[in-house]
Structures are given as structure tokens and as C-alpha cells.
Structure 1
Amino acid sequence: MSIVTVSWRSIRAEIARELHRHGLYASFCPRTGHCRDLGADGACDRGVAGDFLTPSQVAASRAVMGLDTQLIADGTYLLVHAGDGRLAGCGGWSRRATLYGGDHSTSLRDAALLDPSHDAARIRAMYTDPDFVRRGVARLVLSVCEAAARDAGFARAEMMATLAGEPLYRACGYQPIEHIETPGEVPVPMIRMGKALI
């Protein structure tokens, strides 16, 4: 039997049933060291490219993507595991100003707390292992993150989406706000997207 050990009060029984149906379980990353291997070189990174980026863009994306241990410290990073313990996907939300970027992308980081009365919560570091795509993993992580942000008083959520993630986020109600390219020798196209949570 799969076990759901999620502490966010917003998790619903139907999410637990859906996880169990797919042989999955969810837990929060308990400490930084436990999750350090989930960064840009971790198993979930393999899902970034798909048919959307060139190999050089995938390599360049590692300069701005990866694990943000602030999410773990804040207790807002979710891991979804298969019944055999393999990491199926991960992602989080944040009440901090950083929109995207891992620990190593210092120029993108801003730990200032957002004001739920007028700022949008951030959806962050969403990855699904290719072996688990189209099984509801990313949609599950996203719905849990949205519910937790809503419970924290946020009326909107924003993210910086990859081209590979855009179709899922559109299907989940996110709309494009702006298109950008990351700085550097090989620009990586990304899309800032947002959604009303209430």
C-alpha cells in the first residue's frame, strides 16, 4: 500500500487516492542534504529538453535551472516517488521573490518575502522523470503547490516555464505574461506564466 506523508494541510483525500492508483506516494524533502542530488544534473533533469531545446540549449539551461535549497529550508518542496522508491517528479512553491534559478544562479535570486495581498506566489523547480510523464505527476505537484499557496493567502501564482512545460501549464490554466531568453552565449527561451488561484 502506498503512503502519503504530506504535511501541507491543503492535501486532499482525492489526491492521496490518485497517487495510490498510480503506485506513487508523496513526501516533502526533509533536509537539504537528502535532496541535493535533485539539481540540474539529477534524474528529473532528463525531462527538460524533449523536442523543444537543442543539446546546446539544454547544457546552457543548467546555468539557470536546478535545485533551490531555500525551497527545502522553507518546507515547500514536494517529492513524488514511485512505489519502488524511484523519484518520479518534484516541484515546489515559494513565498519569496525568486522566480526561477538554482542555488548556483546567484544573479537570479532574491530571498525577500512576497506580500500575498498583492504579489503572486512562485511555482518553482518542477521536474518529471521521463519514465513517469503523462501519469499525472506534474499535475499533482502543481495542484498541491497551488493549494498550499492559496492556503497561505496568495490569490495568484507565477512561474518561469520551459517550452517543454508550457503545454501542461496552459492546460492547467496558466497564461503567458512574457517571453524571455536567458542571458549567456546560448540563450534558452522561457515563458513567464501566471494564473489566478481564487
Structure 2
Amino acid sequence: MEQAFLIRPATAADRSALRALIERSAAALSVGFYTQEQTVAVTREVFGVDSQLLADGTYYVVETGGAIAACGGWGKRSTGFGGDQAKSAPEPLLDPATEAARIRAFFVEPAWVRRGLGSLLMTHCAAEASAAGFGALELVSTLPGVPLYRVLGFTDVESFDLQLSDGVRVPVVRMRRTVLERT
């Protein structure tokens, strides 16, 4: 029997469940890519719920059996990554005619990895960004996500390190693709 998945906009009521999912996903999926110190630092300082995405209605959850199995979204504002704790400036709207929509904060419950939920979310987000007039998508991926995003048609733009507290450096990759790529 095939598993049924529902994609719906995330709400403020999902906040604690999202935070817990993000922490579990980061801890499990970062193994082999980052040290424990890097994983803890990036989870504390960067990963998290972005209130603006919730307010914009562009952050989604994938539910199955009433439980959240994955989350992710897209942004129409200049912020490229990070939860509320990583923000320090206003977030101006992007110009869909000249700028890429931002793919943001994809996390999958460890028990649901490699079952197509990332692809499902990307298809949904790409369609929504296209409907809003965007012709391109851009994201900043942690190393565990890079293989998925490459399969989904993203190409590397640049690699750089996030400079976190206590001198912790976390390598990430900025990636880009057109909205119309097959997902």
C-alpha cells in the first residue's frame, strides 16, 4: 500500500514540532559530513523556524498519518538561509524579473529519508515560485543536501564557510537552477 502525503502551509502552531524535527534531522543527516561540533553550532546558530516564511505562507510541512515527515519552503525575500535567530536586518522583497526565489530550510524526519519527500517539496516550491513570477531558484545547501539538489537540477555557484561562534566553520554550497527544471 502506498503512503499518502499531504503538503500544507506550516503555521505558528507547528513551531515546536518543526524545531524538534529540524534538530533530529540535522543530528542524523549531518553524520559523515560535519563534526559533532559543527552540527551543534549550525543547529543552534543557523537552523530554525523563520517567522517571515510562516507569515508569507511559503513554508510547508509534509504530513503522513497526522505527523510531520518533512518541511521546507521558498522565500520571496532577500534572506537566503537561517531561522529567526540568524537574522539581523530587514528582509526586502526580491524582484521576480531579475532575482531568484530562495529555497529555504528543507529538513526530513530521519525515519523518512530517501523516500522522495525532498523532491516532493521541491516540486511544490518550484511551482509556487513560478506562479509568483520567479524564473530561477537559489539556495544555500549544507553538505548533506548537495547530492539531492544536484539530482534536482541545481548547479554549484560557490562554496563558502559559515563563520559561527567559537571559530567553528561550516562549509556550505550556494546552488542555482531555473524554475522549470524537472524535479
Shared topology, TM-score over 0.5? Answer: yes
| Aligned 1:165-184 pairs, distance under 5 A | 165-184=145-164
Say which of 92, 96, 116 aligns to 1:112: 92
- In structure 2, C-alpha distance between the alignment counterparts of 1:43 and 1:25, rounded to whole Å: 21
Q: Which residue of 1 aligns with 2:49?
A: 67
Q: Which residue of 2 aligns with 1:22?
A: 3
- In structure 2, C-alpha distance between the alignment counterparts of 1:102 and 1:77, rounded to whole Å: 12
What is the TM-score with the length of structure 1 in the denominator? 0.83
Any idea what SS the aligned residue of 1:50 has? coil
Q: Does 1:91 align with 2:72?
A: yes
Tell me which amino acid in the other structure corresponds to 1:76: T
Task: Measure how far apart 1:33 and its partner are.
Answer: 3.4
The structure richer in helix per residue is 2
Task: Measure how far apart 1:24 and its partner are.
Answer: 2.2
| Aligned 1:2-151 pairs, distance under 5 A | 21-29=2-10, 31-39=11-19, 42-62=23-43, 63-83=45-65, 85-107=66-88, 110-151=90-131
RMSD of aligned Cα (Å): 1.8
Task: Measure how far apart 1:67 and its partner are.
Answer: 1.1
The structure richer in strand per residue is 2
Any idea what SS the aligned residue of 1:21 has? coil
Identity across aligned pairs (percent)? 38
- In structure 1, C-alpha distance between the alignment counterparts of 2:141 and 2:149, rounded to whole Å: 8
What is the TM-score with the length of structure 2 in the denominator? 0.89
Gaps of 5+ in 1: 1-19
**Deviation >6 Å, runs of 4+:** none
Contact 1:47/1:128 (CA < 8 Å) preserved in 2? no
Q: Aligned pairs, how many?
A: 176
Gaps of 5+ in 2: none
